[in-house]
Structure 1
Amino acid sequence: MTTPAPSAVPARRRVLPGVGLAAGVLGVAWLVHLALPAVPVLTGCVVLGIALGQVPAFRSALDGVLAPGLTLSAKRLLRIGVVLLGLKLSLVDVAGLGWATVLSVVGILVATFVVTWLLGRWARLPGDQPLLLAAGFSICGASAIGAMSAVTRDRGKDAATPVALVTLCGTAAIAVLPALGSALGLTPVQFGAWTGASVHDVGQVVATAQTAGASALAIAVVVKLTRVVMLAPVVAITSAVVRRGGGDAGTRPPLVPLFVLGFLAAVVLRTLVDLPEAVVTGADTVQTVLLGLALVGLGSSVRLERLARTGGRAVLVGLGSWVFVAGLSLLVVLALPLA
């Protein structure tokens, strides 16, 4: 009896092992979060995925039988998760910040994006790494990197190093920012705004801001989600630039990717319709599961020894971007009339 060729195996069966592994890692990350609430589920997924990728005995499986499912998780499931992320955003809440704060948040994002991209180009990082680092550090961490990589020419080949760096810096912020905020004498509202404007992943923002109380957490989440709103135009602009760059018409992304349209539709729905709390909570849980599976897939492709050999410049760019966004955000928050 001969073993069927990979192409002969039904697609569903080929993706099951990788998706199953990602689900198991997600379950472990969730248990860690329940035991240690300061560790966000999505951060745990990336860290555990990265750890899995460092075990030599697993590498042949990660690059072989598990690869189809992990790739599906890191690409298609991530896009669905990004769509559901839009249900967190009400434009009414964003407008409630006031135009000065909203424009300041957008200005910080744009400045961080440009500076990070320029640093990456100056450091001669390969491929789309400068663009992916810029998206991750300025918008919403690994989720933004995954969304951006979906419309770049390399289709995610350069995503592993940016995901690792944005996760490491965002995790460090959970410990560093509360200590600095206390030393600087920031009010809870100021600390929350600073956290929302400078920390990368939504879960990391929650873990950091909650240390200063409910008022800090409330403004941190709204400021952070204001940054997330910018994911749609940034990805759409990138897609348009990639299309304009030419190449095989069959490989070019659509002018506005379908998942970006879905994200915008979800934002409009949340803004215009008073959704039942059960629907919002359920969508949030599904979104966390999908993004968690995606981040396990992304994390498992990271090879730290390769990063150590060739990623020194990328590490410097990541650290430089983190210091820049934290410093600029702090200056802006201190200048704003926040209570």
Structure 2
Amino acid sequence: MAKRIEVQHSNRIQRFFDKHISLREVVFIVLVVLCLSPLISPPVALVLGILIAQVVGHPYLHLNHKATHLLLQIAVVGLGFGMNVKSAVAAGKEGFLFTVGSIAFTLILGWVLSKWLKIEKVTSFLISCGTAICGGSAIAAVAPAIKAREKEISVALGVIFILNSVALVVFPIIGHWVGLSQTQFGLWCAIAIHDTSSVVGAAAKYGSAALAVATTVKLARALWILPVSLGASVAFKNKGNNVKIPCFIGFFVIALLLNTYIPRVHSIAPYVVQVSKAALTLTLFLIGCGLTAKVVKSVGVRPFIQGVLLWFAIAGGSLYVIMHVAA
């Protein structure tokens, strides 16, 4: 009975905003402005976005995917102006073995879980790739190589999307609880959190050193889209598909080089980084706005279980290695 009343109340709120579109837009724009200010942190922005999706509704939902995609690229490239080549190379070297091992482990475990849970192989592989490499970007890149259908892509993205939202809030708490250093936390984020946006958001909350390590290792990890996609194309017997590596990775490297070797850049770099962090916060707000009830319902139980089990395995395994083996 209480649940029915709650649903009716939610429907009344939705109908009210449907009749007053301008009010919904005003609320959305006010929150966008707040997310661009220092008053709102990335996790809070994500929660606000989820509330908008569930209670009010996103007035510009049809533009949301393109907006988040573009803003994330701008934010990541801008954050490159806060790092230097030497620290980036050091972080990349440290994370290389973890990257190779964790990607192989995740893909193999995903195949085992798909057999156990009896999940359709394309959907299962997309979830595994999203967990192993870089979330939605990996799914978008691999999908054409294995000729995934829209429904399969939507389910995989839904799983990754939900777990990303949880990771952004939970990971910094766990990091402080177990006493991870800045470097350890940055490495853990890059390996165990799916999307680049949530990796950068969680690491930025933890500290600047964690952010540098997490961003560099995660973007280096994204380069594995190419060999994994090519291998998947062969395994699924699909030939002639084009595989695209995100071009913003190249712009991130250029930003690193400029900040390292062009002294004049140092005077504007702090402002660029500040703007980029604001763009990241807004990105996470928009990502939350896209987490509608429809997205949640489209996932299904078994694919979600696979995503959770994969995530727990890679997060728990990498945390143990970082704390006890690589210490």
The 5-angstrom pairing of residues 18-37 of structure 1 reads: 28=31, 31=34, 35-37=39-41
1:313 matches 2:302: yes
CA distance in 2, matches of 1:130, 1:122: 11
Judge conservation of contact 1:149–1:159 (CA < 8 Å) in 2.
yes
Shift of 1:187: 4.0
Q: Secondary structure at the match of 1:97?
A: helix
Which among 243, 251, 254 is matched to residue 269 of structure 1? 254
Judge conservation of contact 2:91–2:217 (CA < 8 Å) in 1.
no
Change beyond 3 A, Cα 1:144–1:127:
same
1:253 matches 2:241: yes
Judge conservation of contact 2:42–2:281 (CA < 8 Å) in 1.
no
What's 2:296 paired with?
304
Q: Secondary structure at the match of 1:230?
A: helix
Gaps of 5+ in 1: 1-20
What's 2:20 paired with?
none
Task: Determine what percentage of the aligned residue pairs are the same residue.
Answer: 19
What's 2:5 paired with?
none
CA distance in 2, matches of 1:49, 1:239: 39
Q: Secondary structure at the match of 1:200?
A: coil
Larger deviation: 218-227 or 273-282? 273-282
Shift of 1:333: 0.8
1:233 matches 2:224: yes
Deviations 1:282-317 (A, max 9, x none): 99479759967995796459443444xxx1111211
Gaps of 5+ in 2: 1-23
Shift of 1:319: 1.1
Judge conservation of contact 1:42–1:292 (CA < 8 Å) in 2.
yes
Shift of 1:330: 0.9
User: Scaled by the length of structure 2, what TM-score is found?
Assistant: 0.65
CA distance in 2, matches of 1:290, 1:151: 31
Change beyond 3 A, Cα 1:124–1:148:
same
What's 2:16 paired with?
none
* 1:37 partner letter: S
Shift of 1:133: 1.4
Change beyond 3 A, Cα 1:328–1:44:
farther
The 5-angstrom pairing of residues 193-232 of structure 1 reads: 193-209=187-203, 212=206, 214=207, 217-232=208-223
What's 2:316 paired with?
327
Shift of 1:25: 5.8
More helix by share: 2
Deviations 1:183-228 (A, max 9, x none): 434445434433343223344334444565x3xx423542343123
Which among 131, 135, 142 is matched to residue 141 of structure 1? 135
